[in-house]
Amino acid sequence: AMRQQEQFTADAAHELRTPLAIMKSTLQTLQMRPRTVAEYRESLDDALRDIDRMEQLVQQLLTLARLDSTNRTSDFTDVRLDVLLKSLADVFADRAERQGARIACTDHEGVRVRGDETELWQLFSNLLDNALRYGPSDGVVRISLQDGPDRWVTACVHDDGGGIPPEKLPRLFDRFYRVDSSRSQASGGSGLGLAIVREIVQRHHGEIEITSDPQSGTSVIVRLPRS
């Protein structure tokens, strides 16, 4: 456990150092000679993007630290998961439309789980973010919900992208792991989203699995105890 913590700290430092180095280089370049207004604007836009990336990374690191430090479930309440997922679909609808994609959410009324509503919102927000970020720009992200005969409620977020190589599936929940590092960096991915998802699922005594196929896309299946 100590070695894993040391590796996590080293990885976090590296992830923070990279955008800082880029910003420093950008500002040093600006000092070398006078620039046009357009050049200044472009450089400042680049710096702002790196600041946004750092801000997201710091927030995700704080979230992981909080999840690592608590196992309390006494603050759990009954959460209408069907309402939460429909609200999330509405929140992400504009972003999907801007990139030519759409979100389809199946109707299923009155599905309740026991949990922390804020954490569950973040869990499925991360999954929708990934589906739109790495799925095709004109694709469909499908959110389905099933209240089975057993004690489990099953939620699935599916995208019709190109899929994930099978040999990489076991590492998807590792902190800072990226299937395609260059692609993730370009799209703003930190490699922490699915790690946070797994921590939240485990804190809710649930289960999670990912299935992927080049022809049919990727599905993230989350099972949570019914309220």
Domain extent listing, the chain: 2-69, 77-225
Assigned CATH topology for domain 77-225: Heat Shock Protein 90 (3.30.565)
Record the tokens describing residue 114, joined without a space.
């026991």
CATH of domain 2-69: 1.10.287.130
pLDDT recorded at residue 79: 95
φ/ψ of 151, rounded to 5, equals -90, 5
Same CATH topology for 2-69 and 77-225: the answer is no
pTM of the full structure: 0.77
- Mean local confidence (pLDDT), 62-90: 85
Distances (CA, A) of 136 to 125, 133, 159, 191: 18, 8, 8, 19
Q: Which residue has the higher pLDDT, 74 or 82?
A: 82
Rounded to an integer, what distance in angstroms lies between the CA atom of residue 84 and that of residue 96? 18
Q: What is the mean pLDDT of the chain?
A: 85
pLDDT recorded at residue 183: 47
pLDDT in tens, 191-221: 788 988 999 999 999 999 999 988 889 999 9
φ/ψ of 164, rounded to 5, equals -120, 135
Rounded to an integer, what distance in angstroms lies between the CA atom of residue 49 and that of residue 187? 11
Q: Which residue has the higher pLDDT, 141 or 15?
A: 141
CB atoms within 10 A of CB 134: 19
pLDDT recorded at residue 6: 67
pLDDT range class, residue 46, cuts 50, 70, 90: confident
Residue 88: is its pLDDT beyond 50?
yes
Report the candidate in 122, 123, 120, 125 with the shortest Cα–Cα distance to residue 76. 120
pLDDT in tens, 109-155: 889 999 999 999 999 999 999 999 888 888 999 999 998 878 899 99
